[in-house]
Amino acid sequence: MSVAVASGGGFGRWADRRFKYLLILPAVLILLLVGVFPFINILIVSFQDISLIFEDRSFHGLLNYKRLFTEARLWQAILHTVIFTLVALPLELVFGLLMALLFLEPIRGRQVFLALLIIPTVISPIVAGATWRLMFDNQFGPINQILGWAAGEPVPIIWIVQKGFVWPAILIAEIWQWTPFMFLLLLAALSNVDKSQVEAAQIDGASNLRIFFRIVLPAIKPVLAIVLLIRALDLFRLFDVVWALTQGGPGTRTETLSTYAYVQGFQQFETSYTSAIAFVVVVLLSIVVVLALRRVEIAR
């Protein structure tokens, strides 16, 4: 206080210094409204016992959380989600990176190819899923037809039902849709790598592989980390494609965390139980994001 007085402050000065807070106030309010309030509401509901039949708003302690640990179907869904993320993410990364490297070279019709490649990412995921359902159709789908031509006889694969085919079908659709996203961001990062560093390394005698791993990769690492994080979070919430193709079926074979939560929340109306799932997922992902962002910070 004495400082403010000594510097001949008064209200004008005080307002001046606080003005920045005033400016971010609307954003903070909106954030509270759409971010924090639902989060707290979920937390509250998860400690109650609300479902289609009952609406018991009294405190039930960890009732719903206990159920989380005993529900085998939930753990199966989590396992599906984790494995799918671990498989799809590296594939998208490798394909995206290779495509981006390809596009670094000046090629004829680059703009046209770019525009075409971005289409999958622009399409609504549920539409993409529906499209792939047609593609994979066992009678009229072009995929079986093409495989049939290659095999020389009709191929009777029922992609979205048959064991051993249903996950790959989802994987293909997911990679098809999201690799371009990876590609686009990596292309932007790669285009920004200082060309003279690469040239200096060439003259220094480094092989292309060495140049990639020692010069290019470190330079795109921050973008790479962010892209991987975004895609990992997306994959962990995998819903649309699965829903459009299999709705988690056959049975629960392709159920992911998100489709499971959807079924519990909006088909079984297990509101409190679903809230508990959502809360745990949010907490877990928040921890992952914070840790990941801290790593990115260090890398920079």
Partner 1 sequence: MARVRLSGLHKHYGALHAVRGIDLDIPEGEFTVIVGPSGCGKSTLLRTVAGLEEADEGAIEIDGEVVNDLAPRDRNIAMVFQNYALYPYMTVFENIAFGLRARKFPKPEINKRVQEAAELLDITEQLVRYPRQLSGGQRQRVAIGRAIVRDARLFLFDEPLSNLDAQLREEMRAEIKRLHQDLGKTMIYVTHDQVEAMTLADRIVLLRDGLIEQQGAPLDLFERPETRFVAGFLGSPTMNFVPATLEASDGGLAVRFAEGTTLPLPPTRAQAVRSRAGSAVTLGVRAEHMSRANDAGTREGLAPLNVTIDLVQPTGSRTYATFNLADTAVSAELQAHDVRGPGEKMALLVDMNRIVLLDPETDRVL
> Which positions touch partner 1 (CB under 8 A)?
194, 196-197, 199-207, 210, 214-215, 218-219
Cβ nearer to partner 1, comparing 106 with 164: 106
Give Cα separations from 238 to 84, 176, 216, 257, 278 (angstroms). 9, 14, 31, 8, 14
- Between helix 166-191 and helix 110-122 the angle, nearest 10°, is 130
Give the H/E segment covering residue 56.
strand 55-56
| Partners of 96 in beta bridges | none
Cβ nearer to partner 1, comparing 162 with 202: 202
Contacts of 182 (CB under 8 A, 6+ apart): 92, 93, 95, 96, 97, 227, 231
Cβ nearer to partner 1, comparing 172 with 220: 220
At its nearest, how many Å lie between partner 1 and the CB of residue 109? 16
- Short-list 239, 198, 238, CA closest to 217: 198
Cβ nearer to partner 1, comparing 154 with 218: 218
At its nearest, how many Å lie between partner 1 and the CB of residue 296? 14
At its nearest, how many Å lie between partner 1 and the CB of residue 205? 4
CA angle 36, 39, 41 (to 5 degrees): 110
At its nearest, how many Å lie between partner 1 and the CB of residue 262? 44
For the residues of 74-139, what is the DSSP string, one character each? HHHHHHHHHHHHHHHHHHHHHHHHHHHHHHHS--TTHHHHHHHHHHHHHS-HHHHHHHHHHHT-TT
At its nearest, how many Å lie between partner 1 and the CB of residue 211? 9
At its nearest, how many Å lie between partner 1 and the CB of residue 218? 4
Q: What are residue 56's phi and psi, to 5 degrees?
A: -105, 105
Cβ nearer to partner 1, comparing 211 with 242: 211
Cβ nearer to partner 1, comparing 186 with 277: 186
